[in-house]
Amino acid sequence: MDQTARITIPATGQIVEIPTGLFINNEFVSSVDSQERIQVVNPATEDIICSVVAGSEKDIDAAVAAARAAFSTTWGKNVTGFERSRLLNKLADLIERDSQVLAEIESLNNGKPVRIARDFDIGDSIQCLRYYAGWADKIVGQTIEVNNKTKIAFTRHEPIGVCGQIIPWNYPINMWAWKVAPALACGCTIVMKPSELTPLTALVLSKLIAEAGFPPGVVNTIPSLGPVGGAALSRHMDVDKVAFTGSTTTGRKIMEAAAKSNLKKACHTREVSLELGGKSPHIIFESADLDQAANWACLGILYNTGQDCTAGSRLYVQDTIYDKFLHLLVEKAKQLVIGDGFDEKSGGGPVVSKAQYDKVWSYIESGKSQGAELVLGGKKRPGKGYFVDPTIFTNVTRDMRIVQDEIFGPVLSVGRFKTEQEAIALANDTSYGLGAGLHSADASQCMRVSSALEAGTVWVNQYNILGNNVPFGGKKQSGIGRELGSYALEEYTEVKAVHWNFGEQAEWPL
Amino acid sequence: MPAVFTHEFNTPVYKGKVSFNTGLFINGQFVDGSDGTTIDVINPTDGKVTTSISEGTQKDVDLAVDAAEKAFETTWGLNCPGNKRGLLLSKLASLMEEHADELAALEALDNGKAFNAARGKDVPGAIACIRYFAGWADKISGRVIETTEERFTYTRHEPIGVVGQIIPWNFPLLMFTWKIAPALATGNTVVLKPSEFTPLTAIRMCHLAKEAGFPPGILNVVTGYGNTVGSAISSHMRIHKVAFTGSTLVGRKIMEAAAKSNLKNVTLELGGKSPNIIFNDADLEQAVHWAMLGIFLNQGQSCLAGSRIFVQEGIYDEFLKRFTDKSRSIKVGDPFAPDTFQGPQVSKIQYDRIMGYIDSGKKDGARIHIGGERHGSEGYFIQPTIFLDTHPDMRIVKEEIFGPVSVVIKFKDEEDIVRQANDTVYGLAAAVFTKDVNRAITTAHKLKAGTVWVNCYGLSNPNVPFGGYKQSGIGREMGEYALANYTEVKAVNVNLGLKIMSN
């Protein structure tokens, strides 16, 4: 059965080939036991792009077996750091070669503008792979002095083993790179479950894995429904670690499944909200460069059409500059063009699916009905496509749903404060702690406030800019563990301590 | 106008043509030396002149420092983010891969080592070194250090600035990359002097660096003599760090010059007289093989050569027999012949020095077991040589010969062998051969050497540190440790609210 879809890119007329099978042992195959398929939708037109194989639990088993075999033979401790480095660099080169077509497929499936997918998502992903390629031959342990006359003790940082990786739909390629790069650098093998909403680029990237020369079974890709493939991975007895980015609710399920099965290492960072969610605070103090702060505030809530785990969705503005700042903010928010991803003018695309569209709108309606004041947006667009325009609410109160819950769309709640203490209290008043931002020209204030904010990433005088070498992760219910930077290596290595006796005689009996 | 070196290789192992400008490489350009003079490059295989290259002077070092300073303040240093520095280094490595055969041929022509050795070891090792440090470029982290809540205290690991680097003739390309890779990865700019005996691969690398896209002034190469260019670098007031690999004698001069000028930071990789200790229970065949490589690889011209071979008396006779047979079977000849293991020594000066040591050994009463004579009648070839019946006071036992001359010493007392092995002013490397793992580890820990090999010899990797104890050097190259040679630590203390009382 031909596991390839031929898709025409509407804007260019070009035809691209997309593999639609399950990627196991460097080949695209059908499901072992299921005829189910996942329909992949274009959120700008609501049309179906193509369908891909929906992996079953047995398919997950096959993928895990392949990953285990590779780990025991061609990967894991059987491959040098130098070789892992070489292959990761080769993969980065191939992605760079194909970045335009990858960007177009990403835009078709996720909705984000092509130029942003290419220059930011894919650009960052290439750098991420190269960054971790550089770490692959630098995984060191320690030698530890115990007793120089009798023994040496040392640690080895060994690869954990077979890793299940479950990634979301908001940055499909970038989230793929964040997971794949450190895992492979450390010597782990992977069973990747991309989001059922956005499986296409993960499948195309799997082709590049094979082309780069990774041995079969090192990376396996199983598009699948979360409750099927994701659940199977998290309770699998032969998966050593699961890494997940997604909603807190699903994160809990994964951790539970991990605990009930083989106590696999579970690490998750939350992304999508269902009921509870992340709600990153963004604070504007009176000494801030208001024009710049307004730009960053817009970026913070409107980038990726608000579908970002660290979206600065609660904005707190100091009393003394409130009116002036709000005016700037609204004017700037109006400038964003949300439209088709293939239109060069678009700075944002539709939200990813009907479900998300309905959810975002239900929050906007709740904001209106709970009495928040709408200063921008709030009107549905006619026609096709899940487009949501920038929406700003003011006069919000703490208990409103739009203030408590993560909306995951371009919807901002704006509040006001008088003192620094008040701002900090407002900001930290959430069960989440992924990101936070503050704008101030007072250096001491910057230090105090960044110290006080309960978040895994604090931005001072900017927002949402990440670096591959700077760790990322959440406090409180935003997650466990850190991605990026050298810190990610700890997620994919296991420390073994070796005690090597060369001079101590055991006394017996005691 | 600087000369263009053109050469056609028509050999059993490599056929190809090279053609490149051989000027000094300053500020992205190939230029004549200030005095307009040149240096002849001699082919050690036949003693004939291969080509002439430009000769640099103190003035040229000044010009190079000017260019390096400017680049550091504009296009390099922390003005260029780590990931971009890494990307440029990766590009350079890729270009080296494309030109690997050519680089190996140039190295064999210039240094005399076998083409197969250059192609199989030197060139891949050089490429691996560049790739390894390319990976470090965006990972130079400082620390955030807890003091009190009222202070924010952190360190930055900043590039030093313009660094001077002086490299030897025994592994010209490899030593070139060992120096420039960590220096450039950490954001420094470089003024490098290759050996006047073996400048060709260094010059070719400048062409590749330019092609890779390094902006002008980041890498500068000034070919010239030690007592002019080398001295100018080590005493330069605007060079704040010098890294040198070469003889202990010259290393002292460099350290002195550094002290007398601006107290520049100094790292030195110097000589050795490394002991290779073979116990009775060693895997004999393996030990013989490694011992042979340990002293005869690279024509014996290696700082880490296992030149004092200590063999425990229980296996001495059998070891000597096998070691002799193996050494006798070494193919000495043209670097471009496919079965050559040992080529000529690098220069007449070196040839004379080594023959001088052989003479002194004879005069001191040591016995030549094999070798001791010139090989052939053309070029600087010396027979693989084994000395027996030596005494610790002999020059051939104490001093670094840097040629294919081994000293084999019988030992009995296990307690005493470590003392004998450590009885040297050097401390670069050492090896232990034994199947008793406890003995291996305890002996390794007692040896005063920067690298100890157990049941092998001479292995090196770009991620493992290398350097000497005692008079073998200061500092470590390779691995994460190398980064410390090329960064300055700045501690930043930000007061967040501590007010002092005024009275």
Instruction: Please give the backbone phi and psi of residue A48, each rounded to the nearest 5 degrees, phi first.
Output: -85, 130
Active-site residue identified among A275, A331, A344, A373:
A275
Cα–Cα distance measured from residue B414 to residue A440, given in angstroms and rounded to the nearest whole number: 71
Mean pLDDT of B172-189: 98
Look at residue A433 in the predicted model and tell me its pLDDT: 85
A 10 A CB-CB count for A460 gives 17
Mark out the alpha helices in A98-230 (DSSP H runs).
99-110, 114-116, 123-135, 172-186, 200-212
Say yes or no for a CB contact (<8 Å) between B135 and A135: yes
Choose, from B269, B318, B415, B480, the residue flagged as catalytic: B269
Picking from A124, A127, A154, A501 by the largest number of B CB atoms within 10 A of its own CB, the best residue to mutate is A127
The pLDDT assigned to A474 comes to 80
The model's pTM is 0.90
Q: What CATH number belongs to A4-276+478-496? A: 3.40.605.10
Interface of B with A in 110-139 (CB under 8 A): 128, 131-132, 134-139
Taking the Cβ of residue B480 and every Cβ of chain A, the question of whether any pair is shorter than 8 Å is answered with: yes
B191 touches B163 (CB < 8 A): yes
Identify the closest residue of chain B to A135 by CA–CA distance. Answer: B135
Q: What is the DSSP letter of A502?
A: S
Residue B119 confidence (pLDDT):
98
CATH code for residues B61-270+472-490: 3.40.605.10
Question: Hey, is the C-beta of B499 within 8 angstroms of any chain A C-beta?
Answer: no
Long-range contacts (CB closer than 8 Å, 24 or more residues apart) made by B141-146:
B141/A469, B141/A486, B142/B489
pLDDT of residue A122: 98
Contact A134 B139 (CB under 8 A): yes
**Mean pLDDT score across all residues of chain A:** 92
At A264, is the pLDDT very low, low, confident or very high (cuts 50, 70, 90)? Answer: low
B132 contacts A469? CB cut-off 8 A: no
Is the peptide bond preceding residue A509 cis, with omega within 30 degrees of 0?
yes
CATH hierarchy code of domain B275-454: 3.40.309.10
Q: Does A141 touch chain B (CB under 8 A)?
A: no
User: Cβ separation of A81 and B463 shorter than 8 Å?
Assistant: yes
Decide if pLDDT at B250 tops 60: yes
- A13 interfaces chain B, CB cutoff of 8 Å: no
* B84 Cβ under 8 Å from any chain A Cβ: no
Torsion on CA atoms A425, A429, A432, A436, rounded to nearest 10: -40
The DSSP bridge partners found for residue A172 are none
Least CB–CB distance from A134: residue in B128, B136, B437: B136
More confident residue, B285 or A242: B285
Q: Longest Cα pair distance anywhere in chain A, in angstroms?
A: 86
pLDDT of residue A265: 59
Q: What is the pLDDT of residue A263?
A: 62
Chain A residues within 8 A of B181 when measuring between CB atoms:
none
What does the pLDDT read at residue A276? 27
- What pLDDT, on a 0 to 100 scale, did the predictor assign at position A266? 55
pLDDT tens digit string along A412-463?
A: 999 999 999 999 999 999 988 889 999 999 998 999 999 999 998 999 999 9
Closest approach of A447 to chain B, Cα-based (Å)? 7
Q: How do the domains of chain B map onto residue ranges? A: 61-270+472-490, 275-454
Which CATH code, of 3.40.309.10, 3.40.50.2300, 3.40.50.300, 3.20.20.70, is assigned to A281-460? 3.40.309.10
Give yes or no: A275 in active site.
Answer: yes
| Chain segment B69-127, per-residue pLDDT in tens | 999 999 999 999 999 999 999 999 999 999 999 999 999 999 999 999 999 999 999 99
User: Contact B83/A486, CB-based, under 8 Å?
Assistant: no
The mean predicted confidence, pLDDT, of chain B is 96
> B-chain residues within 8 Å CB-CB of A500?
441
CB contact under 8 A, A137 and B90: no
Beta carbons of B132 and A137 less than 8 Å apart? yes
CB proximity B496 to A under 8 Å: yes
What count of other Cβ atoms lies within 10 Å of the Cβ of residue B225? 15
| Count of C-beta atoms within a 10 Å radius of residue B459 | 10
Report, as an integer, the average pLDDT of B421-436: 97
Alpha-carbon gap: B127 to the closest alpha carbon of chain A (Å)? 12
**Does the CB of A35 have a partner CB in chain B at under 8 Å?**
no
Distance, in angstroms, between A226 CA and closest chain B CA?
Answer: 36
- pLDDT, tens digit, 9 for 90 and up, residues A90-130: 999 999 999 999 999 999 999 999 999 999 999 999 999 99
- For residue B97, the model assigns a pLDDT of 98
B491 contact A CB<8A? no
| Distance from the A439 Cα atom to the nearest Cα atom in chain B, whole angstroms | 17
Q: Per the CB < 8 Å rule, is B135 touching A138?
A: yes
Closest Cβ opposite residue A502 in set B82, B149, B438: B438
Q: Do B138 and A468 touch (CB under 8 A)?
A: yes
Q: With CB atoms and an 8 Å threshold, state whether A127 touches B83.
A: yes
Range scoring the smallest mean pLDDT among A361-375, A477-491, B34-48, B404-418 = A477-491
* Domain definitions of chain A by residue range: 4-276+478-496, 281-460
Taking CB atoms and an 8 Å cutoff, what residues of chain B touch A89? 90
